[in-house]
Structure 1
């Protein structure tokens, strides 16, 4: 198992690749911010933040503190539902690793793998850790995606701001795939295992896998798929208080993320209803889910600017955009850099309790 873990970390968390992806994220982000500032913002200045009312600045930093805690709590209570024995402190450290890795990998695919890897280092089995990370992601994704149709029905004009003429079709397909995967993993696991077996048997028959390697891979995959499926079903039937807290902290986390824009707009002197801000940011996050760039860089800035340009003066658009990304992403990413490389250099997470 140690050799498999090492191969995993070498493949996904190679230092050279991590720096390369991070550099790409920085490059796209800087170019996007520069373009928006140059073209749309009429020479606005970032020092406007220093002129915010003191209570707004304090509120933003307090929100930032609890934002990371809420992010950790949503995964913590999913793990508690699955009866995984791990401290909140170790989960809290994974918050920053997830933010960092998710924002330097296309479609935010790496963050979940990173959390699964480090959860295993803390003794949480692969099936249980994979189920917990997937459930955490599904909870937030379903809440966001189920909200989009209602927002668009109530605000038909927003359809013109979104790319393509088939938004409802894309949304329906995406949600259907989410529920289909969820359904298959719980109720049709044997069907999945059957096709996995056929795939690897085909590779063995073509002499791309040895007989020994074939048996080893099949046994490993089947064992952890069964554990994974059991844990998904166990969550649904798990202790109701932990299921409830998982849902509540997912909602609170999302509201905290959306509140950065609300406070920044207050600091800039605008009075826009919290409901309007939530609806616009749900659409931004929805668009970001489909962005192929690391951390949705470029797509996030463009979508956010497009939606909020209707509500703020041009000179305020760039400060709003920059501080939204700074507090909701950039700070967590830079903390995650040090957290990630420190843990990688140490070879994993040691218990510090």
Structure 2
């Protein structure tokens, strides 16, 4: 039987970690914005009412709708290819929960765990949930990693840029490392059973977990790892319609994500080269994947400012960065926090 004091302690520790990560996110974001203000924006920022004009708000709302809906549908059809069907309402709640967790935890680790926890609570086995979220991530990574070398070599705003130069140097190494990890994870997941078992044995030796919990977790870890390995094969053998739609909506999701800066600049009457704007954000997103800070806070603002300083005037650079991050990150995080609280309340009632 689980000790109630242990459960309460775990809950308090989780809340404290979330508070710490949230504060870290805010501090790093402020530091990143200040760095842009100092280094790239000429210490200037002007609010422009054209960003709140009715036609601009309608266009931004439409793009936001595509962004959130396609994010939900890419996971929905990945699950369908694996033979699982969740209600659309549950899928779209998960979109916002994921946005919240993935942006307040380093390297987006919390987003993956939160999705698996949520899907498991809605009847999807842990191994299948892990496979679904991993496959969804891999599809996005394949798009981004394939496009980044092309834009690095062709975009004029990146010529002579120190950050872009560093990316070119590290690009091949990170692509091989990242894709190699996911290939092992997807095609040879059983290779990870040994290291995972060793990790659990180590936790038992230092008394982090009890003997009973060690045996239970060993069994579950092996079972879910084998389920995960089988799940990728099931995805490949799934209905072509669902596989195709999961890939299509991944592309739509990324295209909508990369289109926000172009729309914001168009609203400010800039002569926007859409391909340049899209390419700069693809490279920015690539760098964000390797950021150790929660939600790439601080780093994303700095990289965006460095890349777009030749495209935007100083007084608009910070304004566009804040607007871009608000639309793609902050807004979803706020909604996600609200949805998470409701989900935890409903989960608590089900347990009782």
**Under a length normalisation based on structure 1, what TM-score does the superposition of the two structures give?**
0.88
Please, what is the CA RMSD of the aligned residues? Answer: 3.0
Distance 2:181 2:122 in 1: 27
Shift of 1:290: 1.3
Q: How does 1:257-276 map to 2 (within 5 A)?
A: 257-276=257-276
8 Å CA contact retained: 1:98, 1:112: yes
| Unmatched tracts of structure 2, length 5 or more | none
Shift of 1:312: 1.4
Do the aligned partners of residues 37 and 95 (structure 1) sit closer, same or farther apart at CA in structure 2, a change above 3 Å counting?
same
Are 2:8 and 1:45 equivalent residues in the alignment?
no
8 Å CA contact retained: 1:121, 1:348: no
Q: Secondary structure at the match of 1:14?
A: helix
Aligned length: 347
Deviations 1:207-227 (A, max 9, x none): 887765543332211100010
Deviations 1:228-254 (A, max 9, x none): 011112112211111111111111011
Q: Secondary structure at the match of 1:163?
A: helix
Distance 2:255 2:214 in 1: 47
> What corresponds to 2:295 in structure 1?
295
Distance 1:328 1:80 in 2: 26
> What corresponds to 2:84 in structure 1?
84
> What corresponds to 1:318 in structure 2?
318
Do the aligned partners of residues 7 and 228 (structure 1) sit closer, same or farther apart at CA in structure 2, a change above 3 Å counting?
farther
Shift of 1:166: 5.5
Q: How does 1:5-154 map to 2 (within 5 A)?
A: 10=10, 14-37=14-37, 40-46=41-47, 48-50=48-50, 53-154=53-154
**Under a length normalisation based on structure 2, what TM-score does the superposition of the two structures give?**
0.88
Shift of 1:313: 1.2
Shift of 1:66: 2.2
Shift of 1:179: 3.2
Larger deviation, residues 7-16 vs 127-136: 7-16
Q: Secondary structure at the match of 2:105?
A: coil
Do the aligned partners of residues 321 and 190 (structure 1) sit closer, same or farther apart at CA in structure 2, a change above 3 Å counting?
closer
> What corresponds to 2:179 in structure 1?
179
Distance 1:38 1:298 in 2: 14
Larger deviation, residues 167-176 vs 118-127: 167-176
Shift of 1:256: 0.6
Distance 2:71 2:117 in 1: 18
Distance 1:9 1:102 in 2: 23
Distance 1:8 1:95 in 2: 27
